[in-house]
Amino acid sequence: MNISGQTRLRQSRTISLCLLTIAAAGYPATEGRASDTEIPAILQFAAQYHMMTKTEMDKTNAVGKAAKPGSTSLPPPAPKTEKSTTSAWRLNNDKQLLALNQALQASLQRQKRLEQENQRLKKPPLKLDVSGALARGWGALKQQLTLPPLPTEPIRALTRQELNQADIRQDYAAGISLGNEILRMQSEHQQWGIPGDRRTILAGIRDLFAGQARLNPGEVNDALAAVDRQVAASREKMREQQTRTGVAYQASFMQQKGSLTADMGYGYRIDYRGKGKIASDAIIEVAVKEMRVDGKVIQDMDAGGALLSQRLDEFPPVFRDALARLENHGSMTLLVPPDLAYGEAGYPPDIPPGAYMIYQIRISDVFDADTPTLRAKAKSS
């Protein structure tokens, strides 16, 4: 290569350096973040050099030739030396020139991408019709949740032969179970002074099954919530009344001769202690009469001719503790507070919340441990 060729090569290299500096000066500082690339710039240049084609080299030389004089200050050509004319020197300079031009092209491409991105960001935001979208979504959801109306043919009596079919029997049993729940709920509501009309309840079931409910879900919830508030208020009033009645009865019971208070908290009076010690693993046969403190009898096993036989350790805690105080054929009366009986919930419809309960217990007989652990038998006449 002659001196003029070397000079043009150095000029092209210098122009490339200047253009690279100018492009880098206008390049946003955020472009060099790690999120854009994880490769150091020097490694990018080295990799790009190996992919450079001859056409790209020609383009690079053309850029150097087209540069206008005076656009940048070029250093004077260095004097020719033996070292500068060697093939190694020329190869080294070619490599540097190609790498710098490749960096320039990459910088221009990044700048172009950023300009396009800026233009895109300048576009006005899309206006979303939120209310319309919600309305359409609600309409679609309501349509999906709407059940098709059920057949409304008249209810007819089923024959025994039809009830022998498994699917009909199962559906009929489900209806009976649902009816029992409705009757239980209605009975409980009546206990709290809330009347109920069966015809109206059946009308609600019929309309729902026909897909023609006359109340929307919100109205249904409001109506049921109102009933719950009435029930809660009535229950609380009843509980307070039971507490007053029970405390008064307890005071009277404890004044009776022989009345004591067990460590568990219930009151008791032994009417007849009995004769004959009871082994800890013996089978005890008992009859129990259950009453409220107002005298209402809930259950009377003696009147029904029933007896219950089981081991002492199988009785509920209060009864187990009480029976341990008796001998064979003994009897006693218990006054049990609500926390040891049916609690704040009671046992509707006969046992109100917070009720004190009276139990009269009589041991009918005691059996050896090898007797079956649980049996109920009719009382012999």
Domains of the chain: 3-28+36-112 (no CATH), 258-378 (3.10.50.40)
As a whole number, mean pLDDT of residues 289-313 equals 94
As a whole number, mean pLDDT of residues 119-146 equals 60
Whether the predicted pLDDT of 189 surpasses 80: yes
Dig out the tokens for 113 from the structure: 């991408």
Residue with the bigger pLDDT between 166 and 81: it is 166
As a whole number, mean pLDDT of residues 69-89 equals 47
Which tens digits make up the pLDDT trace of 344-377?
Answer: 989 887 899 999 999 999 999 999 877 554 444 4
Instruction: Compute CA distances 234 → 196, 339, 357, whole Å.
Output: 16, 20, 20
pLDDT band of 323, cuts 50, 70, 90 = very high
What is the pLDDT, as a whole number, of residue 10? Answer: 52
**Tokens 């409220």 map to which residue?**
292
**Tokens 């009382």 map to which residue?**
379
Question: Has this prediction a pTM greater than 0.85?
Answer: no
As a whole number, mean pLDDT of residues 190-200 equals 85
- Per-chain mean pLDDT for the chain: 75
